[in-house]
Structure 1
Amino acid sequence: MKTLTYTTTKDINDLSWPNIEENVGLYTSALRVFTDFKTVSPRLIEPTVRADVLADIMKKEHVRMKLVVDSQNHFLGVVSLEDLSDEAFVKHVAEGYVRSELLAIDLMRSKEDILAVSYKSLSNSDIESLIVSQKHNTYQHLLVVDESDMSIRGLVSANDIVRQLKLNIDVATSTSFAKLNDILEHEYANSKRLRVA
């Protein structure tokens, strides 16, 4: 066993802070709002988890989306809190499913139905271009594919963009890319603060 050294905080006045770029604007690199799975572990779930249990787990973890993977961690799709809404459960029950028997795989969006952005194009883009290209995306998350090794490299969250740009939008609720684009076009159309080069 290793021995730890302890010290008093009586004479400590300062905090350590991360190096954060303060002037994030629409012309900032899109990589600034990218969550890279090479540095942050993805949130995973197995397809056989009960959907109602998964919804509770995600709410407790404050997570809005998980990647669905099989037992070998092969990507199958994504499931978000939007996919696990009461409306989604009602729809499936109306189709003959029993609510308590619905699984993540029943409510997930399959990888065949997901359009992702390439890491290379994202790395050559700015935040504004990313948002405009996603103006019809009604989801909060956009997957990023690394075509060099054909893997899910990470994701971009509309809520992360809101936080980075310091927009006056409540991130306690889900913000889709479409909603974000609409807000930028109308409420922030003339904002010089967001036009930081």
Structure 2
Amino acid sequence: MSEFKKMNTVKLENVYSLCDHYDSQPLTLYSSALKVVTDFTRRAPQMILKDVDIDHALFMMVNGHVRSKLVIDHDDTFLGVVNSRDLTGRKVLSIAQKRNQARSDLTVEDVMTSKNDLHALPFSLVKEAKIGDVLETLKEIGQQHVLLVSKNGGLRGMISASDIARALHIPVNIIQKAHSFKEIFAIIHGHEEMLA
């Protein structure tokens, strides 16, 4: 028997309006960046082991309603980030073909973005920043999210473009940036593994 109980729902037939926002100001690009931080001191980060196969990883993300996870090894060492696009895009097929492997044999480690290719901001800097500053940073680095590091160098949190879009109710489009001809070719042809 469960220790939790089902709550009784109510009908909506006599509800015609939304509640007023008396207790909070709507978020804007000028709001504190802290409003869109996933702070790992308040909410445990979404993590996944490096050797989980990509189909199981995608199943976990879809059913957990998350778009990205931190990748760790069996000693809880941080290795990188994987997002749902990594698990479903052309990158997967390209890597499988290059290695002469079945797509289903690939693991999270095979398609993740290594921590060496990720960007981070000091948490102290984000405390003083606006949401617009973070959005501009994401556009400049051409990545969907930026990690936050604490003074002692540990991972403190993350801010993603999708979190900003959801919070502000605006579309956010981050274009991957290329810094060399090789990167331009890889982005155009969907060969992201060439960038590793």
Short-chain TM bin: 0.7 to 0.9
Residue 13 (structure 2) aligns with:
none
Residue 137 of structure 1, CA deviation: 4.1
Query: Of 120, 138, 144, which aligns to 1:140?
Result: 144
Residue 165 (1) aligns with residue 168 (2): yes
Q: Which amino acid aligns with 1:126?
A: K
Residue 166 of structure 1, CA deviation: 2.7
2-side partners of 1:62 and 1:9: how far apart? 23
2-side partners of 1:20 and 1:72: how far apart? 43
1:129-179 Cα distance to aligned partner (Å, 9 max, x none): 111122134433221111x12111111121221222232x3xxxxx54449
Residue 40 of structure 1, CA deviation: 0.6
1-side partners of 2:69 and 2:22: how far apart? 28
Residue 106 (structure 1) aligns with:
110
**TM-aligned CA distance change 1:20 to 1:130, over 3 Å:** farther
Query: Of 107, 110, 128, which aligns to 1:124?
Result: 128
Identity %: 32
1-side partners of 2:175 and 2:35: how far apart? 20
Q: With the length of structure 1 as denominator, give the TM-score of the two structures.
A: 0.72
Contact 1:144 1:154 in 2 (8 A): yes
Residue 65 (1) aligns with residue 68 (2): yes
Contact 2:38 2:157 in 1 (8 A): yes
Contact 2:138 2:161 in 1 (8 A): no
Residue 37 (structure 1) aligns with:
40
Give the stretch that moved more between structures: 82-91 or 45-54. Answer: 82-91
Secondary structure of the 1:135 match is helix
2-side partners of 1:136 and 1:98: how far apart? 36
Size of the alignment, in residue pairs? Answer: 164
Residue 91 (structure 1) aligns with:
94
Secondary structure of the 1:83 match is helix
Unaligned runs of 5+ in 2: 11-20, 177-196
**TM-aligned CA distance change 1:8 to 1:135, over 3 Å:** closer
Contact 1:49 1:103 in 2 (8 A): yes
* Higher RCO structure, 1 or 2 (CA under 8 Å, sep 6+): 1
Unaligned runs of 5+ in 1: 11-17, 170-174, 180-197
